[in-house]
Structure 1
Amino acid sequence: MQPRNMSMSGVVDLAAVKAANEAKAKAEQARAQRQDAGASAAPASPLVIEVTEATFESDVLQRSAEVPVVISFWADQAEQSKQLNTVLERLAGQYRGRFVLATAEVYANQMLFQQFGVQGVPAVFAVLAGQAMPLFQGLAPEDQIAQVLDQLVAVAEERFGIVGPEVDPGAAAEPAEAAPPRPATPQELALGAAHDALDAGDLPGAIQAYRNVLADEPANVEAKIGLAQAELLQRVEGADPQAARAAAAAAPGDVAAQLAAADLDLVGGHVEDAFGRLVDVVRRTAGEDRDAARVRLLELFEVVGPDDPRVVAARTKLARVLF
């Protein structure tokens, strides 16, 4: 990653979330009210917050009129994104309030993920006065990240007159009073029921539950992954791994045998073997056989996760075979 030449090019349209001018006006009004009430006596704002779709307006849009807000999109399955969050949290303390870090887990905040046009995680954006700009994507050395943050702080002051108030990192780390949990939505309840069925080994029930979720919300990433996992476990249930691999070795042209062996490879932790086997089947076949192998490979990609480097490498190999 090279330090970004900070400009307003590449600004993300946040109109679908909230009009930027309205957010800025509300924030300025709130800031004035706090100053009238004696804001110096108020507790310091947290330097690191976890943002959700429900809190995006107050935690990011409104706050961005007073201090640069850096948003880090991350996923539990992407180890690099968790490593990057650790670096950003440390820098937030060092910058002492010149920016606020907001972390957003992509699977729990798919609307934000789509609105920002995130292509993969980790991905980092900044919001200034209700306007968003991409900063960088991927893990980078801490000194390079600091250079980008220095540019962000300079742009915030020079172009928007925004200077974050100095905050004591120790005071900011004090836990705030927990907000009452919000009621789960019907979609969340349905997804929870699907997870429970999968954990209990009720594979038919889990498959149907995940399909129900996807019928209402086709883009739900968590449900897609859960469905792929449940279907994989159902396919290998009761299978004899040694016999399946022997059958695949004896009949390289038997597509069904290769699909079965790939499933067992993946369940056994031999991820690259599973992917390589199916890419080879796609290369050697045509028509319905090729489609069957390609679809199965895409299903296994869902199980492992789109950000896994083994999936990225296998996608590249598949593209070369297909095109």
Structure 2
Amino acid sequence: MSTSPYIVDITVENFQQIILEGSMQQPVLVDFWADWCAPCKALMPILTKLAEEYQGKFILAKVNIEEQQELAAQFQVRSVPTVMLVSQGQLVDQFNGAKPESEIRAFLEPHLTNPVEQLKEQIRELIGAEQLDQAQMLLQQAISQLPEDYELQIQLARVLLQKSQASEAKAVLDNLPETEKGRPDVQGLQAGLKFAEKAPSAEELAALGERDDSEARYLKALAALVQADYDRAVTLLMAIIRDDRGYDEGVAHKTLLEVFALLGEGNPLVIQTRRKLFTLMY
């Protein structure tokens, strides 16, 4: 029996937990083998080495077909060694017979994802779907496990700011090392905190009513930024630049550039607005 956390001997009792449920978290490489099988004995050290090397990117599940005949029949194993890759509860690939290490690596690589990157992608998807409470919860869990991954902390500050929790976002940013505080994305979030400080209260916003002068547009843009309504904020700021570029010493243009920093240069809204801004300015 293996003592490695990445290698498990499979029985009927743990099959559901390790292979079906476990493959929802990371791929499971199922190795069907037998004591009398010489190719199995040649293959197993290679699989063991890779399982240890990949450090949890996949789990090696070993099935002795003589002891687990029911599982061998369920998977329709007709010869050994047979190696199957299960991901998300589904059989996604397999091979038969012993293979050299290089071929097994090539077999594995397309199916393996860095767990941290997978987690970050999940968080990005939640934010994209505006499921900010779930994103915050996942970020806080991830940070507790990866306290030195400052990307996660910066993302948490961004989510808190989008939820209008400016003081909590500020606390996260203040806790970053000095070496991280100069990053453009952090500077953008600091700008977001300024928006929250300057934004009108709900009563002040209501008092603006249908006013459409530069001051009203600017205050409404700040309110939109606090609510993470970036499309409306950008539209209002661009209107000021178009109609009253010198308002308050060009504050609309300066604020728009801070919005670009907050959202990041790869954001589609930033790319689109930069083109319009260039046309407007020149």
Relative to the length of structure 1, the TM-score reads 0.38
TM-score (norm 2): 0.42
Q: Using CA pairs below 8 Å that are at least 6 residues apart, which structure has the higher relative contact order?
A: 1
CA radius of gyration, larger in: 2
